[in-house]
Amino acid sequence: MGHKVAETTQNINAFGPGIASKRIVQWWFKKFSKGDKSPEDECSGWLSEVDNNQLRAIIEANALTTTREVAKELNIDHSMVIRHLKQTGKVKSLLKIPVSGSKSEGHLYVSSSRDAPFKRWHLEEVFLELKDGQKFPVFKHSGENGDEVKKE
């Protein structure tokens, strides 16, 4: 084919960040190398349009939903979820911080989101999950106006 996957991905994304992932480009290269030149996409939805309202509803229903989980639920590529979240003005961050103590270990999860108009970050939820599966809530945002805070 004469082009490398990384180079082709970079060339496609010059038209807009997140248009294509390396995985998608690899898939198309493989498809074309088998002689299949049809534009039909058997990945059932990877290149289809996404309803931004549906995407926003999924994210708002559970602030701890990862963008990869959303992509799987909507049967689309992960990069498309990222691009559409930026269009809706919603940006998420989920930090997973390893912690350990004298008796147990686990992860501290910190979830936050940023809204487009003011580009301010809002803490959504913080909880500790131990290796044995126990969860201990530390903080959870409660209230639509962002002023109410519930410490657990």
Segment 62-98, tens digit of pLDDT? 767 778 888 888 888 888 888 787 777 767 777 888 9
**Torsion, CA 108, CA 63, CA 140, CA 106, rounded to 10:** -20
Please tell me which residue, 60 or 106, carries the higher pLDDT value. Answer: 106
Per-residue pLDDT averaged across 130-136, rounded?
A: 91
How far apart CA 122 and CA 111 sit, in angstroms, is: 9
How far apart CA 93 and CA 86 sit, in angstroms, is: 13
**pLDDT for 36:** 67
How far apart CA 45 and CA 49 sit, in angstroms, is: 8
Reported pTM = 0.45
**pLDDT for 128:** 92
- If you average pLDDT over every residue of the chain, what do you get? 75
Are 51 and 31 spatial neighbours (Cβ–Cβ below 8 Å)? Answer: no
Length of the chain in terms of residues written: 152
